[in-house]
């Protein structure tokens, strides 16, 4: 039997798990034997497909629909999870949206949309999850940011601001809860062959890929391995870090 302080013995909640990187992270946890809750808002069919893939791979997954921008919705979802499992060991905040457009032409609503999901949503999820983690004096939170937090991404001002804020939240929260046995870190992926990058104009994508020293896009599996590491006791002395995984794009 896997020990509860290793990924395989844990209860894990991944937000934004209905597709892309979130789905890849959820599948990676499930392959270790973790009980994975798939957080999603509208894409129930896609989330169900991820759950089926996890089941076919021998893992265990539960759909958990809620809106990360609404604290009452988040709190109710976490309470349902806690009633079923009695604990939440790992929270992965992966929900995010991009609202592309030059800042001079954007409305306040367009600018705020990524902030509401990526930053405020992570705050809501952390706040809801921390009660149980702090009472048990154990837990890990991994926030999924972006290299847009540290590298100019023209046309994505709101997204960049949200991800930069997420790194700041990660540092501050990590220090606040470290003494209570909860570790908080972030990963900053670059261009990946999944999710938002694949919806870019192909010409622009090739131009950006040309600036990656490794000469290729990253994969969800590669990012998931870093998330798994940060959520495990192998990373027990790492807190408050935003670790870049981008093939050298920002080196």
What is the arithmetic mean of pLDDT over 23-34? 96
Q: What is the pTM of this model?
A: 0.93
pLDDT for 1? 32
Residue ranges per domain, the chain?
Answer: 7-245
| Backbone dihedral angles phi then psi of residue 213, each to the nearest 5 degrees | -55, -35
DSSP class of 136 = H
CATH of 7-245, one of 3.40.50.720, 2.60.290.11, 3.90.700.10, 3.30.70.20: 3.40.50.720
pLDDT band at 4 (very low <50, low <70, confident <90, very high): very low
Dihedral Cα 64, 166, 6, 132, nearest 10 deg: -60
pLDDT for 196? 65
Dihedral Cα 8, 10, 14, 19, nearest 10 deg: 30
Given a cut of 70, whether residue 23 has pLDDT beyond it is yes
What is the arithmetic mean of pLDDT over 217-221? 96
What is the arithmetic mean of pLDDT over 80-109? 94
pLDDT for 200? 65
* Contact of 15 with 92, CB cutoff 8 Å: yes
pLDDT for 197? 64
CB atoms inside a 10 Å sphere around CB 146: 31
> Which of left, alpha, beta for 240 (phi over 0: left; psi -120 to 50: alpha)?
left
Given a cut of 80, whether residue 114 has pLDDT beyond it is yes
| Separation of first and last alpha carbons in the chain | 42
Q: Is the dihedral of CA 223, 228, 230, 231 positive or negative?
A: positive
pLDDT for 2? 44
* Contact of 124 with 170, CB cutoff 8 Å: no
Strand partners, 139: 182
Given a cut of 90, whether residue 136 has pLDDT beyond it is yes
Given a cut of 60, whether residue 8 has pLDDT beyond it is no
**What are the residue numbers of the active site?**
159
């Amino acid at each position: 039997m896997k020990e509860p302080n290793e990924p395989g013995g844990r209860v894990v909640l991944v937000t934004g798990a209905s597709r892309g990187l979130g789905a890849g992270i959820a599948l990676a946890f499930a392959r270790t034997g973790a009980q994975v809750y798939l957080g999603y808002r509208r894409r129930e069919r896609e989330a169900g497909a991820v759950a089926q893939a996890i089941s076919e791979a021998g893992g265990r997954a539960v759909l958990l629909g809620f809106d990360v921008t609404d604290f009452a919705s988040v709190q109710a979802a976490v309470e349902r999870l806690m009633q079923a499992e009695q604990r939440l060991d790992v929270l992965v905040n992966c929900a995010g949206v991009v609202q592309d457009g030059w800042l001079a032409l954007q409305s306040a609503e367009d600018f705020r949309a990524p902030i509401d999901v990526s930053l405020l949503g992570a705050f809501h999820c952390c706040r809801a999850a921390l009660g149980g983690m702090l009472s048990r004096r154990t837990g890990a939170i991994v926030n999924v940011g972006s290299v847009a937090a540290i590298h100019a991404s023209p046309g994505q001002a709101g997204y960049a601001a949200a991800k930069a804020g997420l790194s700041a939240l990660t540092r501050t929260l990590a220090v606040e809860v470290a003494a209570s046995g909860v570790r908080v870190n972030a990963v900053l992926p670059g261009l990946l062959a999944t999710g938002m990058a694949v919806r870019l104009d192909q010409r622009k994508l090739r131009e950006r890929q040309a600036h990656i020293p490794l000469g290729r896009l990253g994969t969800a599996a590669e990012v998931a391995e870093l998330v798994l590491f940060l959520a495990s006791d192998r990373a027990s002395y790492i807190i408050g870090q935003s670790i870049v995984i981008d093939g050298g794009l920002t080196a």
